[in-house]
Amino acid sequence: MRRPGGGGAGRSEGPRRWPTRSGMDHLERCSWFLRGTLVRAAVRRYLPWALVTSMLAGSLLKELSPLPESYLSNKRNVLNVYFVKLAWTWTFCLLLPFIALTNYHLTGKPSLVLRRLSTLLVGTAIWYVCTTIFSNIEHYTGSCYHSPAMKVRKEHQSKLECDGKGGFWHGFDISGHSFLLTFCALMIVEEMAVLHDVKTDRSHCLHTAITTLVIALGFLTFFWVWMFLCTAVYFHDLSQKVFGTLFGLLSWYGTYGFWYLKSFSPGLPPQSCSLNLKQDSYKK
């Protein structure tokens, strides 16, 4: 009776290992595709222009030939409520381990890793300051009305009070989605540039962790760009999206294109020997 039992156990081990190898192969192929697509310098160079172009084209389509109502045009759709509105949270949670693992793998210096992780604190500050500015602008330029269709003014002094009384607050509502999705997509692409120099042993657990994070960040970037297009096509006026996108571009360029090049900054992702030497000199 033991022999059949043992044989059965031996046969069951093969099928359990095979999906694991097959699944890892799929992850590897997906990871290499995303590396080849998003890590290119051309992507970092042209993605800002692509976002601006798509925002203008989508806005023009919305004004001249609006698309039919769909699930994506509903502000309460799942993608908008649980992903776009929490875009910075998703970006933060995936970039945190990615920056920590890749930067420590390349430099071996915890101090440098902590310094690079401070980019997430900078991003959080930018997110908070910009959304606060947007909210204040909407407040000081707005008034309360009975409904979006009936422009009969009601006497309420704040958007919160207006909403609580069943009114509709109309002000200059800068597109927070255009700002945040632009900033998050560009930040992810900038941080993924570190993959040019990341080489890991496939048998090491670090390789699996980084591969998984690359796939997650890659799909998140494509998703942010897609939702940015949906925002351009379905929501906000052109001027509101222009200002939102402009804030996102300025936040990205002000950090990665200017401040992070300075010695008193979190620094850029390590991408070459010369950059590593330059960042090391910051710390001495």
Q: Residues with catalytic annotation?
A: 177, 236
Query: Which residue intervals of the chain are DSSP H helices?
Result: 2-38, 41-64, 78-79, 87-107, 110-140, 159-164, 176-192, 205-234, 238-256, 273-283
Which residues are CB-neighbours of 45 under 8 A, at least 6 positions away? none
Nearest 5°: phi and psi at 25?
Answer: -60, -40
The H or E element spanning position 170 is strand 168-170
- Euclidean distance between CA atoms 154 and 145, whole angstroms: 5
Neighbours of 40 (CB within 10 A): 14
Asked whether the beta carbons of 224 and 184 are under 8 A apart, the reply is yes
Q: Which secondary-structure segment (H or E) carries 145?
A: strand 143-145
What's the one-letter identity of residue 112? L
At 244, which amino acid appears?
A: G
| Token pair 């203008």: residue | 56
Nearest to 193 by CA among 28, 29, 35, 33: 35
- 270 within 8 A of 107, measured Cβ to Cβ: yes
